[in-house]
Amino acid sequence: VTTNQPHRQTGKARRVTLADVAERAGVSAQLVSLVMRGRPGASPANRERVLQVARELGYVPDARARVLRQERTNLLGVMFHLQQPFHADLVEGIYAAADAAGYEVVLSAVTDTRREDRAIETLLAERCEALILLGPGTPTRQLVELAARLPVTVVARGIADPAIDVVRTADAKGIQLAVDHLAGLGHSRIAHVDGGDAPGAAQRRKGYRDAMRRHGLTDFIQVVPGGLKDDDGARATRQLLDSPHPPTGILAFNDRCATGVLDALYRARLVVPDDVSVVGFDDTHVAAFSHVDLTTVRQDAAVMARLAVDQAVGRLDADLGEAGHEAVVPPTLVVRGTTGTPPSPMN
């Protein structure tokens, strides 16, 4: 039934409450509460009647009052970075997993003008029972303090503290896959444009060095300072091209960095993959863009999201004990069009 009031109400318009529904339906408030939550304890006739009236009145239960009253809030707080495509994939998975576990998700974004501490504070104020932090840059010390208040799961960043649960990709393993792939194609001069102090960067550097050694390519190890953005990749690549023996293969810290690498190569009139092969990391949809067609190391967002929710819910519902849990998700290599055999097979 459409209400025919003046169609713009003021912000102060009174909300339809549970009591309104009860009165109109001629039952107690308690009964309405049960019906709205889909709990047993109401006769079919009454249930039907209540739902009918609620619909008529446009009643929407007040989530805030509900949470205030309940012992448990069933709220999972998620902090994410708005400008990271990979976080969008994770949040999507978290919504699904939380739903399945019977939890609500409260989102709090980090932007240029809204820092992580602010985002976390909001989540605490909203009475979240546990926090899932995506790629936090907050110092470990502060995260540990936070974990003394409520369960904290960190995703996509390794934290070596037992107070905190972690879900991360096996970064070293991922970059090893990339090295194996290029070495298998016959590449020797394989360079790594790193991620500085970004989450996972240290592990990827180490994984790169180890893999190179395993392939007997110790002498060709070359790590240049990069970063998370395309500019970083482009800058690093120009530096690589200036060296006496430029690499025939480049492993970028992430996909975005890799696009910068591709651009710098392109501008230097080099052909990918004929002259130089390039591998990214993440498999964001940028990589899948057919125009970019980037060979990359794929992180499985859906699995990571589910594991993060499992850990948080596990702390809340079951008793996972005191020790911190670390879930390491194996990455996979997605071979696309930016990798091939090196120009001269024998160096």
Partner DNA sequence: ATGAAAGCGCTAACAG
Partner DNA sequence: CTGTTAGCGCTTTCAT
Question: Residues 255 to 294: which contact a copy of itself by CB under 8 A?
Answer: 256, 259-260, 262-264, 266, 285-286, 289-293
Rounded CA separation 167/104 (Å): 20
**Interface map 310-329 toward a copy of itself (x if CB under 8 A):** -----xxx----x-------
Subset of 7-66 contacting a copy of itself (CB under 8 A): 7-9, 11-13, 15, 58, 60-65
Pick one of a copy of itself, DNA, none as the site partner of residue 14 (Cβ within 5 to 8 A by kind). DNA
Tell how many helices (H) and how many strands (E) occur in the chain: 13, 12
Residue 108 β-bridge partners: 79
CB 144 within 8 A of CB 164: yes
Rounded CA separation 205/39 (Å): 54
Subset of 156-215 contacting a copy of itself (CB under 8 A): 163
User: Residue 107 interacts with a copy of itself (CB under 8 A)?
Assistant: yes
Among 274, 294, 276, which residue's Cα sits nearest to residue 335?
294
Pick one of a copy of itself, DNA, none as the site partner of residue 117 (Cβ within 5 to 8 A by kind). none
Residue 143 β-bridge partners: none
Question: Which residue's CB is nearer to DNA, number 125 or number 271?
Answer: 125
Amino acid letter for position 293: D
Rounded CA separation 76/100 (Å): 13
Binding residues with a copy of itself: total (CB under 8 A): 75
Pick one of a copy of itself, DNA, none as the site partner of residue 263 (Cβ within 5 to 8 A by kind). a copy of itself
Question: Which residue's CB is nearer to a copy of itself, number 11 or number 38?
Answer: 11
Summarize as ranges the residues that interact with DNA (CB under 7 A): 14-15, 17-19, 27-31, 33-34, 36-37, 40-46, 61-62, 65-66, 68-71
Pick one of DNA, a copy of itself, none as the site partner of residue 83 (Cβ within 5 to 8 A by kind). a copy of itself
Rounded CA separation 209/196 (Å): 15
Please report the sign of the dihedral spanned by the C-alpha atoms of residue 76, residue 77, residue 82, residue 86: negative
Among 165, 73, 310, 52, which residue's Cα sits nearest to residue 44?
52
Rounded CA separation 121/133 (Å): 12
User: Residue 122 interacts with a copy of itself (CB under 8 A)?
Assistant: yes
User: Residue 102 interacts with a copy of itself (CB under 8 A)?
Assistant: no
Rounded CA separation 69/30 (Å): 14
User: Residue 344 interacts with a copy of itself (CB under 8 A)?
Assistant: no
Among 276, 262, 283, which residue's Cα sits nearest to residue 341?
276
Question: Which residue's CB is nearer to DNA, number 41 or number 330?
Answer: 41
Least distance in angstroms from the C-beta of 128 to DNA: 14
Question: Which residue's CB is nearer to a copy of itself, number 63 or number 335?
Answer: 63
User: Residue 142 interacts with a copy of itself (CB under 8 A)?
Assistant: no
Of 145, 184, 245, 274, the residue at the interface with a copy of itself (CB under 8 A) is 145
Amino acid letter for position 107: L
